[in-house]
Amino acid sequence: MLSDLPIAVIGAGAMGEAIIGGLLRNELVAADQILASHPREDRRRELSHHYGIQTTHDNLAAAQWGRVVIFAVKPQQLRRVLPPLRGALRDDDLAISVIAGATIASFAEALDHQAVVRSMPNTPAQIGCGMTVWTAAPAVNERQRGWAATVLGALGRELFVDNETYLDMATAINGTGPAYVFLMMEAMIDAGVHLGLSRRIAEELVQQTMLGSVQYAIQSGLHPAQLRNAVTSPGGTSAAALSELERGGLRTVLADAIWAAYRRSVELGRNG
C-alpha cells in the first residue's frame, strides 16, 4: 500500500517517532522513504542513528518531498508551522494530522489543500498498542484513505468515523484516556505502599491487575458491569471498596473529567 511512497513527518517528537517506528517495525516502508523534520540538531541525529531515516530542519522541504505528509507538532505550534507551508502540497498528496483539536477546515485553509485526514491517536501508540480514531475530508479519495488506514494502523488499532465531531469526543476517551488510567495506577500503587507493600511489589501487582483485567474484559465480551458483579461477593472486600468509590463519586468525577477534555478539544479547534 505504501510501497515507494515518500512519507514526511513534520514534528518528530514522541508521536511522530511512534509513527516512524510503527511503519518500520511493520515493514510498511523502507527507512529511505521517510523524511522527518525537527528543529533540534541533536534530535535529528538521534532519529537518523536509531532508524536510518532522512532528517531535516526545513519543514517546507519535508512537505514538498512527501506524498503523505504527517503533522505531529504540538497544538500551540500550529499557527507558526502551517502558514509557511501554504501551497506546498500537490493535489494528489495527503495531509494527515495527529494533533489534538486541529480541525480539517483549519488545515485545509492554512495549507490551501483539501485532501486532509484528521486523527486522534494515544500514547500507547509508542509501543504499537495505540487506539487511533480518524476521519477524512470529502476530497480524500479511496486510495488516500487506504494510505491513512495503513499509516495509522501501524500505531495499533485504527477506527474510521464519518463525522468529524466524533474526533473531539474520541479525544476525551482514547486520546486523554491513558492519563486517567495512569492516575488510577499511581493512586493504587501509593495506597499499596501506605498499606505496607514495597513500591516494587505494589507496582507489579497494579500493572498486572490492570493488564489482566482489560484483556479479560476484551476476551470475555461481557459488559463491564457483569464482570464487576462477578468479582463482588456480598459483604466482601470488593463490595466494601466499591461502596467507598461510589460514595466518593468516582463515576461523576470521571464523567466530568471526560466532558472537560471534550470541551478543551473543541476549544483548541476554535483557537486553531
pTM of the model: 0.90
Residue 62: what pLDDT? 97
Going from the C-alpha of 63 to that of each of 34, 67, 76, 126, 135, the distances in angstroms are: 12, 8, 19, 23, 21
Q: Which of 75, 68, 84 is nearest to 2 (CA)?
A: 68
* Binding site as annotated, residues: 10-15, 59, 72-75
Residue 76: what pLDDT? 86
How is the chain split into domains, by residue range? 7-162, 177-269
| Packing angle, helices 177-195 and 199-220, rounded to 10 | 130
3-state secondary structure 102-147: CCHHHHHHHHCCCCEEEEECCHHHHHCCEEEEEEECCCCCHHHHHH
Q: Which three cell numbers stand for residue 212?
A: 489482566
Residue 272: what pLDDT? 61
- Helix (H) / strand (E) element for 70: namely strand 68-71
The mean pLDDT values, 10 residues at a time, for the chain of 272 residues are 91 94 95 96 96 97 97 91 96 95 93 97 95 98 97 97 94 96 98 98 99 98 97 97 97 98 88 66
End-to-end CA distance of the chain: 32
For 35-76, the pLDDT digits (tens) are 999 999 999 999 999 999 999 999 999 999 999 999 999 888
Phi first, then psi, for residue 236 (nearest 5°) are -95, -175
* Binding site as annotated, residues for NADPH: 59
Phi first, then psi, for residue 233 (nearest 5°) are -80, 145
- Do 7-162 and 177-269 agree at the fold level? no
* Beta-strand relationship, 34-37 and 156-160: unpaired
* Binding site as annotated, residues for NADP(+): 10-15, 72-75
Q: Which of 35, 27, 22, 19 is nearest to 1 (CA)?
A: 27
Q: Which of 68, 129, 74 is nearest to 100 (CA)?
A: 74
- The CATH H-level (homologous superfamily) assignment of domain 177-269 is ProC C-terminal domain-like (1.10.3730.10)
Residue 100: what pLDDT? 86
Decide if domain 7-162 falls under CATH 3.40.50.720: yes
Q: Which residues pair with 133 in a beta bridge?
A: 120, 159
Q: Which three cell numbers stand for residue 95?
A: 495531509
Task: Tell me how far apart the alpha carbons of residues 50 and 72 are, in angstroms, rounded to a whole number.
Answer: 19
